[in-house]
Amino acid sequence: MTKPIELILLGAGARGAQAYASYAFEHPDEVRFVGVAEPDPIRRKRFAEEHDLDESQTFASWEEILARGQMADGALITTQDQMHVEPAVAAMQAGYNVLLEKPMADSLEGCVRLVQASEQTGRTLQICHVLRYTPFWRTLHDILESGRIGEIVTVEHRENVAWWHMSHSFVRGNWRNKELSTPMILAKCCHDLDILVWNLQHRVKRLSSVGSLFHYRPESVGPEIPLRCTDGCPIEAECPWSAIGLYLDARLLPRVRTLEEGEDAPPTWPFTTITHDLSWEGRKRAIETGPYGRCVYRCDNNVVDHQSVLMELENGVSVTMIMHGHSNEEHRSMRYDGTKATLRARFGRPDEITIYDHGKNEPEIVPIPTATSGHGGGDWGTMGSFLRVLRGEEKALTDVRASLESHLLAFAAEEARLSGQMIDMAEYRTRAELVTG
Interface pick for ligand NAD out of 88, 187, 397, 402 (rule CB under 6 A)? 187
What are 335's strand-pairing partners? 156, 344
Toward ligand NAD, which CB reaches closer, 8 or 313? 8
**203 contacts ligand NAD (rule: CB under 6 A):** no
CB 21 within 8 A of CB 77: no
Toward ligand NAD, which CB reaches closer, 157 or 206? 157
**38 contacts ligand NAD (rule: CB under 6 A):** yes
Surface-to-core class of residue 59, CB atoms within 10 Å of its CB (0-12 exposed, 13-18 middle, 19+ buried): buried
Interface pick for ligand NAD out of 102, 123, 132, 331 (rule CB under 6 A)? 102
CB 325 within 8 A of CB 305: yes
Contacts of residue 393, defined as CB under 8 A and 6 or more positions apart, other chains included, come to: none
- How many residues belong to the site for ligand NAD (CB under 6 A)? 26
Interface pick for ligand NAD out of 20, 23, 47, 62 (rule CB under 6 A)? 62
By CB under 6 A, the residues from 153 to 182 that bind ligand NAD are 174
CB 9 within 8 A of CB 35: yes
Around 65, how many Cα atoms within 13 Å sit in the side-chain half-sphere? 30
**40 contacts ligand NAD (rule: CB under 6 A):** yes
H-run or E-run covering 108 = helix 108-121
Helix crossing, 108-121 with 400-419: angle to 10°? 170
**333 contacts ligand NAD (rule: CB under 6 A):** no
110/190 Cα distance (integer angstroms): 15
Q: In this structure, how many other beta carbons lie within 10 angstroms of the beta carbon of residue 29?
A: 11
Fill in the per-residue mask, 377 to 406: x = in contact with ligand NAD (CB under 6 A), - = not in contact.
Answer: ------------------------------
300/173 Cα distance (integer angstroms): 10
**13 contacts ligand NAD (rule: CB under 6 A):** yes
CB 388 within 8 A of CB 420: no
**39 contacts ligand NAD (rule: CB under 6 A):** yes
To ligand NAD, the closest distance from the beta carbon of 361 in angstroms equals: 39
Toward ligand NAD, which CB reaches closer, 338 or 377? 377
**79 contacts ligand NAD (rule: CB under 6 A):** yes
Residue 28: is the preceding peptide bond cis (ω within 30°)? no
**14 contacts ligand NAD (rule: CB under 6 A):** yes
Interface pick for ligand NAD out of 128, 185, 412, 416 (rule CB under 6 A)? 128
Stretch that binds ligand NAD, among 35-43, 204-212, 214-222, 251-259 (CB under 6 A): 35-43
Q: Which residues bind ligand NAD (CB under 6 A)?
A: 10-16, 37-40, 43, 61-62, 78-81, 83, 101-102, 128, 130, 174, 187, 375
